[in-house]
Amino acid sequence: MTTTSTPRVCRGIGEFRAALGERLAALPGEASLGLVPTMGALHEGHGHLVRLAREENALVAVSVFVNPLQFGPDEDYERYPRTPEADLELLARFGADLVFAPTVEQMYPDGEPLVRVTSGRLGTVLDGASRPGHFDGALTVVNKLLNIAAPPVPGPFRAYFGEKDAQQLLLVRRMVADFDLPVIVRPVPIVRDADGLALSSRNRYLDAGQRRAALVLPGTLRALAAGELDLEAARARIDAADQVRLDYLVVVDPRTLAPAAPGPGALALVAAHVGGTRLIDNLAL
Ligand code: PAF
Protein backbone atom coordinates (compact mmCIF):
# COMPACT_ATOMS: atom_id res chain seq x y z
CA MET A 1 0.00 0.00 0.00
CA THR A 2 1.39 3.44 -0.88
CA THR A 3 0.31 6.56 0.95
CA THR A 4 0.85 10.04 -0.43
CA SER A 5 -1.30 11.95 2.05
CA THR A 6 0.32 14.05 4.76
CA PRO A 7 0.95 11.89 7.81
CA ARG A 8 -0.66 12.82 11.10
CA VAL A 9 1.81 14.55 13.41
CA CYS A 10 1.63 13.74 17.14
CA ARG A 11 3.50 15.87 19.67
CA GLY A 12 2.85 14.23 23.02
CA ILE A 13 3.50 10.64 24.08
CA GLY A 14 -0.15 10.12 25.05
CA GLU A 15 -1.41 11.51 21.75
CA PHE A 16 0.96 9.28 19.77
CA ARG A 17 0.02 6.15 21.72
CA ALA A 18 -3.68 6.86 21.30
CA ALA A 19 -3.26 7.47 17.53
CA LEU A 20 -1.28 4.23 17.16
CA GLY A 21 -3.90 2.29 19.10
CA GLU A 22 -6.77 3.72 17.02
CA ARG A 23 -5.08 3.16 13.67
CA LEU A 24 -3.98 -0.39 14.52
CA ALA A 25 -7.42 -1.31 15.86
CA ALA A 26 -8.99 -0.06 12.61
CA LEU A 27 -6.81 -2.41 10.52
CA PRO A 28 -7.87 -6.00 9.88
CA GLY A 29 -6.28 -8.93 11.74
CA GLU A 30 -3.12 -8.60 13.80
CA ALA A 31 -1.80 -5.54 11.99
CA SER A 32 1.95 -4.98 11.95
CA LEU A 33 3.65 -1.74 12.96
CA GLY A 34 6.93 -0.40 11.59
CA LEU A 35 8.74 2.30 13.56
CA VAL A 36 11.51 4.38 11.97
CA PRO A 37 13.40 6.42 14.60
CA THR A 38 15.08 9.50 13.10
CA MET A 39 16.48 12.85 14.14
CA GLY A 40 14.87 14.58 11.16
CA ALA A 41 16.77 16.53 8.47
CA LEU A 42 15.56 13.68 6.32
CA HIS A 43 17.07 12.53 3.03
CA GLU A 44 16.82 9.58 0.62
CA GLY A 45 18.64 7.36 3.13
CA HIS A 46 15.69 7.80 5.48
CA GLY A 47 13.46 7.25 2.43
CA HIS A 48 14.84 3.71 2.16
CA LEU A 49 14.08 3.05 5.83
CA VAL A 50 10.51 4.32 5.55
CA ARG A 51 9.82 2.60 2.24
CA LEU A 52 11.00 -0.76 3.59
CA ALA A 53 8.83 -0.21 6.67
CA ARG A 54 5.95 0.60 4.30
CA GLU A 55 6.48 -2.63 2.35
CA GLU A 56 6.63 -4.77 5.46
CA ASN A 57 3.96 -3.28 7.72
CA ALA A 58 0.32 -2.25 7.76
CA LEU A 59 1.09 0.92 9.72
CA VAL A 60 4.25 3.05 9.59
CA ALA A 61 5.29 5.54 12.25
CA VAL A 62 8.36 7.77 12.07
CA SER A 63 9.80 9.56 15.07
CA VAL A 64 11.59 12.86 14.53
CA PHE A 65 13.49 13.90 17.63
CA VAL A 66 16.93 15.46 18.00
CA ASN A 67 17.95 13.68 21.18
CA PRO A 68 20.15 15.90 23.37
CA LEU A 69 21.38 12.90 25.38
CA GLN A 70 23.45 11.56 22.53
CA PHE A 71 25.41 14.77 21.85
CA GLY A 72 28.58 15.64 23.75
CA PRO A 73 29.08 19.14 25.19
CA ASP A 74 31.30 20.20 22.25
CA GLU A 75 29.15 18.60 19.57
CA ASP A 76 26.56 19.97 17.16
CA TYR A 77 23.30 19.58 19.15
CA GLU A 78 22.38 23.26 18.85
CA ARG A 79 23.20 23.55 15.15
CA TYR A 80 22.01 20.07 14.14
CA PRO A 81 19.79 20.73 11.07
CA ARG A 82 16.09 20.97 11.90
CA THR A 83 13.84 21.01 8.81
CA PRO A 84 10.32 20.11 10.01
CA GLU A 85 8.34 21.31 6.97
CA ALA A 86 10.61 19.59 4.46
CA ASP A 87 10.62 16.45 6.64
CA LEU A 88 6.84 16.29 6.58
CA GLU A 89 6.72 16.63 2.79
CA LEU A 90 9.27 13.86 2.41
CA LEU A 91 7.45 11.63 4.88
CA ALA A 92 4.24 12.00 2.89
CA ARG A 93 6.19 10.95 -0.21
CA PHE A 94 7.96 8.08 1.56
CA GLY A 95 4.59 6.78 2.79
CA ALA A 96 4.55 7.32 6.57
CA ASP A 97 1.19 7.21 8.34
CA LEU A 98 2.09 8.81 11.67
CA VAL A 99 4.88 11.11 12.80
CA PHE A 100 5.91 11.38 16.43
CA ALA A 101 7.70 14.71 16.89
CA PRO A 102 7.91 15.46 20.60
CA THR A 103 9.69 18.35 22.27
CA VAL A 104 12.61 17.75 24.61
CA GLU A 105 10.30 18.57 27.55
CA GLN A 106 7.78 15.97 26.38
CA MET A 107 10.45 13.30 26.14
CA TYR A 108 12.32 14.27 29.31
CA PRO A 109 9.78 16.06 31.52
CA ASP A 110 11.98 15.79 34.61
CA GLY A 111 15.11 16.96 32.81
CA GLU A 112 17.90 14.53 32.01
CA PRO A 113 16.81 11.01 32.95
CA LEU A 114 18.34 9.64 36.12
CA VAL A 115 18.34 6.08 34.79
CA ARG A 116 19.88 5.39 31.39
CA VAL A 117 20.73 2.42 29.24
CA THR A 118 24.42 1.61 29.48
CA SER A 119 25.89 0.52 26.21
CA GLY A 120 28.70 -1.42 27.90
CA ARG A 121 31.96 -2.55 26.37
CA LEU A 122 30.80 -2.24 22.76
CA GLY A 123 29.70 1.34 23.39
CA THR A 124 33.09 2.58 24.52
CA VAL A 125 35.17 1.68 21.46
CA LEU A 126 35.41 3.41 18.06
CA ASP A 127 32.65 6.06 17.95
CA GLY A 128 32.04 5.45 21.65
CA ALA A 129 35.69 6.29 22.40
CA SER A 130 35.55 9.48 20.33
CA ARG A 131 32.08 10.44 21.57
CA PRO A 132 31.89 9.43 25.25
CA GLY A 133 28.30 8.81 26.36
CA HIS A 134 26.96 8.95 22.80
CA PHE A 135 25.70 5.38 22.67
CA ASP A 136 24.24 5.47 26.19
CA GLY A 137 22.22 8.50 25.06
CA ALA A 138 21.22 6.93 21.75
CA LEU A 139 20.19 3.62 23.34
CA THR A 140 18.27 5.41 26.08
CA VAL A 141 16.13 7.27 23.56
CA VAL A 142 15.72 4.22 21.31
CA ASN A 143 14.58 2.23 24.36
CA LYS A 144 12.08 4.96 25.20
CA LEU A 145 10.82 5.16 21.62
CA LEU A 146 10.38 1.39 21.42
CA ASN A 147 8.41 1.43 24.68
CA ILE A 148 6.32 4.40 23.61
CA ALA A 149 5.46 2.84 20.23
CA ALA A 150 5.10 -0.78 21.42
CA PRO A 151 1.70 -1.74 19.99
CA PRO A 152 -1.06 -2.08 22.56
CA VAL A 153 -2.63 -4.86 20.44
CA PRO A 154 -1.00 -8.12 19.26
CA GLY A 155 0.85 -8.00 15.95
CA PRO A 156 4.43 -7.82 14.67
CA PHE A 157 6.43 -4.74 15.69
CA ARG A 158 9.50 -3.86 13.60
CA ALA A 159 12.01 -1.05 14.02
CA TYR A 160 14.28 0.16 11.20
CA PHE A 161 17.90 1.30 11.52
CA GLY A 162 20.46 2.26 8.87
CA GLU A 163 23.62 0.22 8.38
CA LYS A 164 25.62 3.44 8.05
CA ASP A 165 25.61 3.67 11.86
CA ALA A 166 26.94 0.12 12.09
CA GLN A 167 27.97 0.40 15.74
CA GLN A 168 24.58 1.86 16.72
CA LEU A 169 22.81 -0.92 14.82
CA LEU A 170 24.88 -3.57 16.61
CA LEU A 171 24.18 -1.97 20.00
CA VAL A 172 20.44 -1.67 19.31
CA ARG A 173 20.41 -5.36 18.37
CA ARG A 174 22.28 -6.20 21.57
CA MET A 175 19.89 -4.11 23.66
CA VAL A 176 16.86 -5.78 22.09
CA ALA A 177 18.36 -9.24 22.67
CA ASP A 178 19.71 -8.53 26.16
CA PHE A 179 16.48 -6.88 27.38
CA ASP A 180 14.14 -9.26 25.49
CA LEU A 181 12.39 -6.33 23.89
CA PRO A 182 9.41 -7.49 21.78
CA VAL A 183 10.57 -5.87 18.54
CA ILE A 184 12.20 -7.09 15.35
CA VAL A 185 15.22 -4.98 14.36
CA ARG A 186 15.44 -4.48 10.59
CA PRO A 187 18.75 -3.21 9.16
CA VAL A 188 18.66 -1.09 6.01
CA PRO A 189 21.67 -0.79 3.64
CA ILE A 190 23.59 2.46 3.23
CA VAL A 191 22.33 4.80 0.51
CA ARG A 192 25.02 6.68 -1.44
CA ASP A 193 25.02 9.67 -3.72
CA ALA A 194 26.09 9.04 -7.33
CA ASP A 195 29.67 10.00 -6.38
CA GLY A 196 29.77 7.37 -3.61
CA LEU A 197 29.37 9.59 -0.53
CA ALA A 198 27.09 7.95 2.04
CA LEU A 199 23.96 10.06 2.63
CA SER A 200 23.96 11.79 6.00
CA SER A 201 22.07 14.70 7.52
CA ARG A 202 25.49 16.17 8.33
CA ASN A 203 26.55 16.28 4.65
CA ARG A 204 24.70 19.60 4.43
CA TYR A 205 27.43 21.15 6.62
CA LEU A 206 30.02 20.50 3.89
CA ASP A 207 30.98 23.21 1.40
CA ALA A 208 31.77 22.16 -2.18
CA GLY A 209 35.49 21.63 -1.51
CA GLN A 210 34.87 19.64 1.65
CA ARG A 211 32.31 17.51 -0.12
CA ARG A 212 34.89 16.63 -2.77
CA ALA A 213 37.46 15.95 -0.05
CA ALA A 214 35.00 13.66 1.78
CA LEU A 215 35.01 11.29 -1.20
CA VAL A 216 38.32 9.95 0.06
CA LEU A 217 36.31 8.00 2.66
CA PRO A 218 34.18 5.82 0.36
CA GLY A 219 37.04 5.71 -2.17
CA THR A 220 39.45 4.33 0.41
CA LEU A 221 36.89 1.82 1.72
CA ARG A 222 36.42 0.54 -1.84
CA ALA A 223 40.17 0.29 -2.39
CA LEU A 224 40.50 -1.63 0.89
CA ALA A 225 37.69 -3.99 -0.11
CA ALA A 226 39.30 -4.56 -3.50
CA GLY A 227 42.62 -5.39 -1.83
CA GLU A 228 44.33 -2.45 -3.58
CA LEU A 229 45.46 -1.01 -0.24
CA ASP A 230 46.36 -2.58 3.09
CA LEU A 231 45.04 -0.98 6.26
CA GLU A 232 48.13 1.10 6.89
CA ALA A 233 48.21 2.46 3.34
CA ALA A 234 44.48 3.13 3.51
CA ARG A 235 44.92 5.16 6.70
CA ALA A 236 47.79 7.07 5.13
CA ARG A 237 45.66 7.89 2.10
CA ILE A 238 42.91 9.41 4.26
CA ASP A 239 45.43 11.24 6.45
CA ALA A 240 47.02 12.78 3.39
CA ALA A 241 43.73 14.16 2.05
CA ASP A 242 43.25 17.91 2.24
CA GLN A 243 40.84 19.11 5.00
CA VAL A 244 40.40 15.54 6.30
CA ARG A 245 41.43 14.40 9.78
CA LEU A 246 41.13 10.66 10.31
CA ASP A 247 39.58 9.54 13.58
CA TYR A 248 39.75 5.80 12.91
CA LEU A 249 39.86 3.31 10.08
CA VAL A 250 39.54 -0.27 11.27
CA VAL A 251 38.60 -3.69 10.01
CA VAL A 252 36.46 -5.59 12.50
CA ASP A 253 34.27 -8.59 13.05
CA PRO A 254 30.83 -6.94 12.69
CA ARG A 255 29.36 -9.04 15.52
CA THR A 256 31.93 -8.07 18.15
CA LEU A 257 33.81 -5.05 16.75
CA ALA A 258 37.02 -6.96 17.52
CA PRO A 259 39.83 -6.32 15.02
CA ALA A 260 39.69 -8.76 12.12
CA ALA A 261 41.84 -9.54 9.11
CA PRO A 262 40.59 -7.82 5.97
CA GLY A 263 38.60 -10.41 4.03
CA PRO A 264 35.15 -11.88 3.55
CA GLY A 265 32.87 -11.37 6.55
CA ALA A 266 34.87 -8.46 7.93
CA LEU A 267 33.62 -4.87 8.05
CA ALA A 268 35.74 -1.78 7.41
CA LEU A 269 34.64 1.22 9.49
CA VAL A 270 35.85 4.77 9.09
CA ALA A 271 35.28 8.03 10.94
CA ALA A 272 36.90 11.33 10.00
CA HIS A 273 36.49 15.04 10.37
CA VAL A 274 36.11 16.86 7.07
CA GLY A 275 36.49 20.51 7.88
CA GLY A 276 34.43 20.75 11.08
CA THR A 277 32.10 17.89 10.18
CA ARG A 278 32.46 14.40 11.55
CA LEU A 279 31.46 11.74 9.03
CA ILE A 280 31.26 7.96 9.33
CA ASP A 281 31.04 5.27 6.70
CA ASN A 282 31.57 1.54 6.39
CA LEU A 283 31.82 -1.25 3.83
CA ALA A 284 31.57 -5.03 4.10
CA LEU A 285 34.73 -6.54 2.72
O1 PAF B 1 20.42 7.23 14.06
C2 PAF B 1 19.79 8.20 14.50
O3 PAF B 1 19.28 9.04 13.75
C4 PAF B 1 19.64 8.37 16.00
O5 PAF B 1 20.77 7.93 16.66
C6 PAF B 1 18.37 7.67 16.55
C7 PAF B 1 18.41 6.17 16.31
C8 PAF B 1 17.14 8.25 15.87
C9 PAF B 1 18.27 7.93 18.04
O10 PAF B 1 18.20 9.28 18.33
Are the C-beta atoms of residues 210 and 243 closer than 8 Å to each other?
Answer: yes
pLDDT digits (tens, 9 = 90+) for 204-253: 999 999 999 999 999 999 999 999 999 999 999 999 999 999 999 999 99
pLDDT of residue 152: 79
Residue 90 has pLDDT above 50, yes or no: yes
Q: Is residue 205 part of a domain?
A: yes
Q: Is residue 1 part of a domain?
A: no
Are residues 51 and 138 located together in one domain of the fold?
yes
Q: Is residue 195 part of a domain?
A: no
Q: Is residue 2 part of a domain?
A: no
203 lines ligand 1 (CB under 6 A): no
The protein residue with its alpha carbon nearest to ligand 1, atom 8, reads 38
CATH of residue 132's domain is 3.40.50.620
Work out the pLDDT band at 160, boundaries 50, 70, 90. very high
Are residues 215 and 170 located together in one domain of the fold?
no
Are residues 40 and 148 located together in one domain of the fold?
yes
pLDDT of residue 52: 98
137 lines ligand 1 (CB under 6 A): no
**214 CA to middle of ligand 1, Å?**
22
62 lines ligand 1 (CB under 6 A): no
Total domain count for the chain?
2
Counting beta carbons within 10 angstroms of the beta carbon of residue 248, is it exposed (0 to 12), middle (13 to 18) or buried (19 or more)?
middle
Using alpha carbons only, what angle is made at residue 79 by residues 75 and 85, rounded to the nearest 5 degrees? 140
Are residues 146 and 261 located together in one domain of the fold?
no
Q: Is residue 284 part of a domain?
A: no
pLDDT of residue 153: 78
**51 CA to middle of ligand 1, Å?**
17
Are residues 209 and 182 located together in one domain of the fold?
no
Task: Examine the fold and report which residue of 157, 188, 219 is the final residue of a domain before the chain moves on.
Answer: 188
**58 CA to middle of ligand 1, Å?**
23
Are the C-beta atoms of residues 201 and 81 closer than 8 Å to each other?
Answer: yes
102 lines ligand 1 (CB under 6 A): no
Residue of 43, 46, 48, 134 marked active site: 46
Counting beta carbons within 10 angstroms of the beta carbon of residue 29, is it exposed (0 to 12), middle (13 to 18) or buried (19 or more)?
exposed
Domain boundaries, position 270? 201-279
Residue 66 alpha carbon, nearest atom of ligand 1: 10
pLDDT digits (tens, 9 = 90+) for 108-140: 999 999 999 999 999 999 999 999 999 999 999
Of 87, 106, 97, 142, the C-alpha closest to 15 is 106
The protein residue with its alpha carbon nearest to ligand 1, atom 5, reads 138
123 lines ligand 1 (CB under 6 A): no
Are residues 75 and 208 located together in one domain of the fold?
no
Instruction: Give the whole-angstrom CA distance, residue 12 versus residue 9.
Output: 10
Q: Is residue 3 part of a domain?
A: no
Are residues 71 and 208 located together in one domain of the fold?
no
Are residues 96 and 135 located together in one domain of the fold?
yes
pLDDT of residue 97: 98
Residue 66 has pLDDT above 90, yes or no: yes
pLDDT digits (tens, 9 = 90+) for 162-195: 999 999 999 999 999 999 999 999 999 999 999 9
pLDDT of residue 3: 47
**230 CA to middle of ligand 1, Å?**
32
> Is 43 a residue of the active site?
no
Are residues 22 and 123 located together in one domain of the fold?
yes
- Which stretch of 104-118, 141-155, 200-214 has the lowest confidence by average pLDDT? 141-155
**53 CA to middle of ligand 1, Å?**
16
Average pLDDT, the chain: 96
141 lines ligand 1 (CB under 6 A): yes
Counting beta carbons within 10 angstroms of the beta carbon of residue 115, is it exposed (0 to 12), middle (13 to 18) or buried (19 or more)?
exposed
The total number of residues written for the chain in this structure? 285
Residue 154 has pLDDT above 90, yes or no: no
Task: Examine the fold and report which residue of 188, 210, 236 is the final residue of a domain before the chain moves on.
Answer: 188
Are residues 20 and 120 located together in one domain of the fold?
yes
pLDDT of residue 244: 98
Diameter over CA atoms, the chain: 58
Task: Examine the fold and report which residue of 165, 188, 211 is the final residue of a domain before the chain moves on.
Answer: 188
Are residues 240 and 146 located together in one domain of the fold?
no
* Residue in 36, 38, 191, 203 to alter for ligand 1 test, most ligand atoms within 8 A of Cβ: 38
Residue 162 alpha carbon, nearest atom of ligand 1: 1
| 202 DSSP 8-state letter | G
CATH of residue 212's domain is 3.30.1300.10
Using alpha carbons only, what angle is made at residue 277 by residues 273 and 282, rounded to the nearest 5 degrees? 60
Residue 4 has pLDDT above 90, yes or no: no
Q: Is residue 194 part of a domain?
A: no
Q: Is residue 265 part of a domain?
A: yes
pTM score, whole prediction: 0.96
Residue 165 alpha carbon, nearest atom of ligand 1: 1
**% of the chain at pLDDT higher than 70:** 99
Residue 2 has pLDDT above 70, yes or no: no
Are residues 52 and 125 located together in one domain of the fold?
yes
Question: CA neighbours within 13 Å on the CB side: how many for 2?
Answer: 4
pLDDT of residue 5: 85
Q: Region 14-31: what's the mean pLDDT?
A: 96
